[in-house]
Structure 1
Amino acid sequence: MKRVLIVEDQLDIRELIRMTLEIEDLDIHEAENGTIGIEMAKQLRPDMLLLDIMMPGHVDGFEVCRQIKSTPELASTKVIFLSAKGQESDRQLGQSLGAEAYLTKPFSPRQLLEVVTKHLN
């Protein structure tokens, strides 16, 4: 079973993502900020991170991605950004950090499911 870690500060969005992904056979975990997300990723070693960018605290989604991709045992973790930041410069930064995809909020559950299944298979 593939393991997915959702790192998102807004509870309602985390719930929407989890409910969308529950139709797949996935082991789903959640973190409410980047600092917790990094610690959970180190413990869980997920196959995929679904990562918000703008979160409270000093660790945003870009920094989470940097740290995950620079940790040898986590470097192969797939990263999908889910963000309200829709500028091309943000997409390019996400790609340069090694993300597999970048979805702009609001995204459709169908779109999320397609991207997740594409990159987990």
Structure 2
Amino acid sequence: MLNILVLDDAVVIRSLLRLTLTSDDHVVDEAQTVDTAIEFAQSKSYDLILCDFMLDDGETGLDFIKAARTESLNKNTPIVMLSAEDSNAHRDILKTYQVSAWIKKPFTPIGLLRVIYKVLNIDYKESKHALFTEVSKA
């Protein structure tokens, strides 16, 4: 069981992430804004943080990452960035901001779990996720 923080302004994406992660027996805290995510990160240690790149009101996931890397209990927590964008410039962010992985939206539940387990160096048992496997193949 992992403790995971999710930062995404879209309720549909947060719901999909929560469903996928809790179905895999993980505990999920959700934040819609950078400020809320910072509050979570300052009060609780996480095994992983999933963070949207483009947020509402001109905020970006980078605003959160800058704060999390300096002002929280999660300075070294792996962060996986989620985004509809995928370019070389965004890939440079991986190095600059110590982002562990970049997942392009839309993604499948199985694809998400594979990336999470790879980032955390945990063996991934796909057979455990028969429902997601069938949905992903449909």
Q: TM-score, normalised by structure 2?
A: 0.80
Paired position in structure 2 for 1:99: 99
Q: Which AA in structure 1 matches 2:107?
A: F
Runs of 4+ in 1 over 3 A off after TM superposition: none
Structure ranking higher on relative contact order (CA contacts 8 Å, 6+ apart): 1
**Aligned-residue offset at 1:7:** 0.2
| Percentage of matched positions with identical amino acids | 29
Gaps of 5+ in 1: none
CA deviation after TM superposition for structure 1 residue 95, in Å? 2.8
Aligned-pair distance for 1:73?
3.3
Report the counterpart of residue 7 of structure 1 in structure 2.
7
Shifted more, 10-19 versus 65-74: the winner is: 65-74
The reply on whether 1:65 has 2:65 as its aligned counterpart is yes
Aligned to 2:41: 41
Q: Which has the larger radius of gyration?
A: 2
Q: Distance in 1 between matches of 2:106 and 2:16?
A: 11
C-alpha distance after superposition, 1:90-120 (max 9, x if no partner): 1211332001000111112111011112223
State the shift of 1:76 in Å: 1.3
CA contact (8 A) 2:80 2:101 kept: yes
TM-score by length of 1: 0.90
Structure 1 CA distance, aligned partners of 2:2 and 2:20? 15
**What letter corresponds to residue 115 of structure 2 in structure 1?**
V
Equivalent position of 2:85 in the other structure:
85
Q: Is the 8 A contact 1:95 1:101 kept in 2?
A: no
- Residue 129 of structure 2 corresponds to which residue in structure 1? none
Instruction: Report which stretch shifted further, 108-117 or 17-26.
Output: 17-26
* Corresponding residue number in structure 2 for 1:114: 114
Letter in 1 for 2:74: L
Equivalents in 2 of 1:103, 1:13: separation in Å? Answer: 13
Q: What is the distance in 2 between the residues matched to 1:101 and 1:71? A: 22
- Deviation of 1:22 after TM superposition, in Å, equals 1.7
Check conservation: 1:83, 1:105, Cα contact below 8 A: yes
Structure ranking higher in strand proportion: 1
Give yes or no for contact 2:79–2:99 (8 Å, CA) kept in 1: yes
